Amino acid sequence: MTTTYTALREGLSRLIGDWLSVTGAATGCTTTALKSTALAEYGNSYFSDGGYFILGPTGTSSAIEVRKVTSFVQSTYLASIFTNYPFTTAPTSMACELHKINPDKKKKALNVAIKSLYSWLRQEVVDETIMTEPNQIEYAVPSTITDIQQIFYSTWPASDTSDTELGSNMSFDNWTASAPDDWTASAQVTTAQEDDDDFVLSGSYSCKATIAASQTGTLYSDSVSSPTDYAGQRITFDMWVYCRTASRVKADIYDGSTTTQSSYHQGRGWERLSVSATMPTTPTALQGGISFASGTTALTIYCDDAHLMYRERKPTYEPYPLYGWDVYNSVLYLPASIVKNRLITLKGTTYLSTVDAEADTTEADEPQVQLLYAEAARYLYQELISTGPKEDITRHQQLAGYYSGEVERLKRRVGKLIPAHQMKVPGYP
Give domain status of residue 5, yes or no.
no
CATH number of the domain enclosing 43: 2.40.30
Predicted pLDDT at 35: 82
Beta bridge partners of 185: 219
The pLDDT tens digits of the residues spanning 231-276 come to 888 899 999 999 999 999 999 999 999 999 999 999 989 999 999 8
Segment 286-294 mean pLDDT: 96
Decide: 122 and 352 in contact? Cβ < 8 Å.
yes
Residue 110 and residue 189 in one domain: no
Residue 291 and residue 392 in one domain: no
The pLDDT tens digits of the residues spanning 79-91 come to 888 888 888 888 7
Residue 309 and residue 320 in one domain: no
Segment 174-201 mean pLDDT: 95
Give domain status of residue 347, yes or no.
no
Count of structural domains within the chain: 4
Residue 297 and residue 357 in one domain: no
**Could you tell me the pLDDT band of residue 24, with boundaries at 50, 70 and 90?**
confident
pLDDT at 6 over 60: yes
Give domain status of residue 6, yes or no.
no
Segment 197-218 mean pLDDT: 94
Q: Quick one: what percent of the chain has pLDDT higher than 70?
A: 90
Predicted pLDDT at 43: 65
Decide: 355 and 8 in contact? Cβ < 8 Å.
yes
Predicted pLDDT at 288: 97
Residue 150 and residue 188 in one domain: no
Give domain status of residue 10, yes or no.
no
Predicted pLDDT at 207: 97
Residue 368 and residue 337 in one domain: no
Residue 258 and residue 188 in one domain: yes
Residue 186 and residue 206 in one domain: yes
Segment 113-118 mean pLDDT: 94
The pLDDT tens digits of the residues spanning 307-348 come to 999 876 555 566 788 889 999 988 999 998 888 777 888 999
Give domain status of residue 372, yes or no.
yes
Residue 192 and residue 241 in one domain: yes
Give domain status of residue 113, yes or no.
yes
**Could you tell me the pLDDT band of residue 162, with boundaries at 50, 70 and 90?**
low
What is the extent of the structural domain holding 140? 130-156+315-341
Give domain status of residue 429, yes or no.
no
Residue 95 and residue 112 in one domain: no
The pLDDT tens digits of the residues spanning 52-80 come to 888 765 454 446 788 888 888 878 888 88
Predicted pLDDT at 426: 41
The pLDDT tens digits of the residues spanning 384-427 come to 998 877 878 999 999 999 999 999 999 999 887 765 434 444 44
The average confidence (pLDDT) of the chain is: 86
Segment 199-211 mean pLDDT: 94
Lowest model confidence (mean pLDDT) among 33-42, 95-104, 392-401: 33-42
Residue 220 and residue 289 in one domain: yes
Residue 286 and residue 197 in one domain: yes
pTM of the model: 0.61
Predicted pLDDT at 44: 67
Give domain status of residue 1, yes or no.
no
